[in-house]
Amino acid sequence: MATPFTPKQALHVDGALLQELQGNVTDSIARDLLPDLPPLTSTSVIHDNGCGYGAVTRAIMESNPPSGIQIHATDINPLYLAQLQAKLAERPSWPVEVTTMDACKLTFPNGMFDLSLATFIFPALSDDVGAAAHMLRTLKPGGTGVVAVWKEMPWHAALEKTHVKLCGEDEPIAPRLASAWWYRKEKIEQVVRDAGWRDVRFVRKAAWLSLGVDLKRWATIAWTRPAQNGDEVSKAPMRGSYQRRYGRL
């Protein structure tokens, strides 16, 4: 196996840094999704699947939900979960249980949830059909599953052009970015159909990402992430590329 290599200019990646990269865009989408969902009741059990730093969980709890609801927040990335745990420490009354779990291999029993939400995780999954099938399996009869993916990503075209200009067309772009580019409505429609979902409805939402005033810092975080989180970088073939791409900011 190639030796993992992280450029010296890369920042230390933790949950707070990942949240800073995403800004408020996932929070905005999470809040906008709630009005389109069936009303929660005092007995609702909810799965925030691939919860990240907890945008969906926070949106639900900040919407003044009925007392008695239960939320199970799961993610495979401990950095995100640490960020969510820190938030929950400030809100000890929130009925949220956090567990490390792969969305492709859910261990919850059948028919556990009234509502299961997976926002912006499917392009990065190793088995998206399996993940959709697990969501269906863990829903109660009549329950609701929600999968959110980007319909359009105008920033990705800029990333792709920059990559080609600096690295050449022969050097592949980071897998996480490549998969997000082609994972659109048609793809998720096929995935949920193959997983056995029925009565599927598509809703379009819009959100804006505010980069803040320090664009250089945001750009540094953005190029730091592909070398982290499981995207291996080989020291021998990639060192020059990283220096060429990221040596000066």
The pLDDT of residue 240 = 36
> Domain containing 53 — which CATH number?
3.40.50.150
Q: Is residue 206 part of a domain?
A: no
Residue 29 belongs to domain spanning: 24-149+184-198
* Residue 115, beta-bridge partner list: 46, 144
Q: Is residue 154 part of a domain?
A: no
State the Cα–Cα distance between residues 115 and 47, nearest whole angstrom: 6
Q: Tokens standing for 213?
A: 């005033």
Q: Is residue 74 part of a domain?
A: yes
Answer for the pair 65, 96: CB distance below 8 angstroms, yes or no: no
State the Cα–Cα distance between residues 186 and 37, nearest whole angstrom: 22
* Residue 163 host element (H or E): helix 154-167
Q: Is residue 115 part of a domain?
A: yes
State the Cα–Cα distance between residues 85 and 105, nearest whole angstrom: 22
Q: Is residue 43 part of a domain?
A: yes
Q: Is residue 194 part of a domain?
A: yes
Q: Is residue 166 part of a domain?
A: no
State the Cα–Cα distance between residues 96 and 203, nearest whole angstrom: 27
| Number of compact structural domains in the chain | 1
Taking alpha carbons only, the member of 138, 111, 109, 134 closest to residue 121 is 134
The pLDDT of residue 130 = 98
State the Cα–Cα distance between residues 55 and 152, nearest whole angstrom: 20
Query: Who contacts 45 (Cβ-Cβ below 8 Å, separation ≥6)?
Result: 69, 70, 72, 112, 113, 114, 115
The pLDDT of residue 175 = 60
For residue 249, the number of C-alpha atoms closer than 13 Å in the C-beta half-sphere is: 20
The pLDDT of residue 243 = 36
Q: In which residue ranges of the chain is pLDDT below 50?
A: 227, 229-249
* Residue 114 host element (H or E): strand 113-119
193-214, pLDDT tens digit by residue? 999 999 999 888 877 766 666 7
State the Cα–Cα distance between residues 208 and 104, nearest whole angstrom: 29
Q: Is residue 179 part of a domain?
A: no
